[in-house]
Amino acid sequence: MLEERDFEQTWLAKFSSSLDEIAGEEIRQAVIEGSDELSSHSTRQEVIDWSKGALERVDSLVDKEKRKRIMTGCACSTQSLTCRSCGEPMRTPRMLV
């Protein structure tokens, strides 16, 4: 049986894949640094702080066009909560605010 992944885990996997495909392995590693310390036990603030830092690292490491492609590559449909790229269903995301 496949383990159900929550929204954050699914988004992080898509984000990482998009980074690797568009910006390369070195930049992907720099951007996702610290993500392995996040878990279902992480507080909302920890997730927010890591996400903010990751997006700031993307901003500083890639140009505007690549940023758009990276973020579009990890976008999911919020209406149906199904990933547009792979069609994988996701659980309702935790509220981050």
Could you say which DSSP state residue 83 is in?
E
Question: Is 95 inside any structural domain?
Answer: no
pLDDT tens readout for residues 72-96: 887 654 455 566 556 666 554 444 3
Task: Determine whether 47 is exposed, middle or buried from the number of CB atoms within 10 Å of its CB (0-12, 13-18, 19+).
Answer: middle
The whole-angstrom separation of Cα 31 and Cα 54 is 5
Q: For the full predicted model, state whether its pTM sits above 0.85.
A: no
Question: Is 91 inside any structural domain?
Answer: no
Question: Is 96 inside any structural domain?
Answer: no
Question: Is 1 inside any structural domain?
Answer: no
Task: Determine whether 70 is exposed, middle or buried from the number of CB atoms within 10 Å of its CB (0-12, 13-18, 19+).
Answer: buried
| Structural domains counted in the chain | 1
Question: Is 70 inside any structural domain?
Answer: yes
* pLDDT number for residue 82: 61
* pLDDT number for residue 90: 58
Question: Is 71 inside any structural domain?
Answer: yes
Q: Nearest-5° angle of CA 56, CA 62, CA 68?
A: 85
Question: Is 89 inside any structural domain?
Answer: no
* pLDDT number for residue 33: 95
Question: Is 45 inside any structural domain?
Answer: yes
* pLDDT number for residue 24: 95
Domain interval for residue 75:
7-83
pLDDT tens readout for residues 36-63: 998 888 898 998 999 999 999 999 999 9
* pLDDT number for residue 91: 54
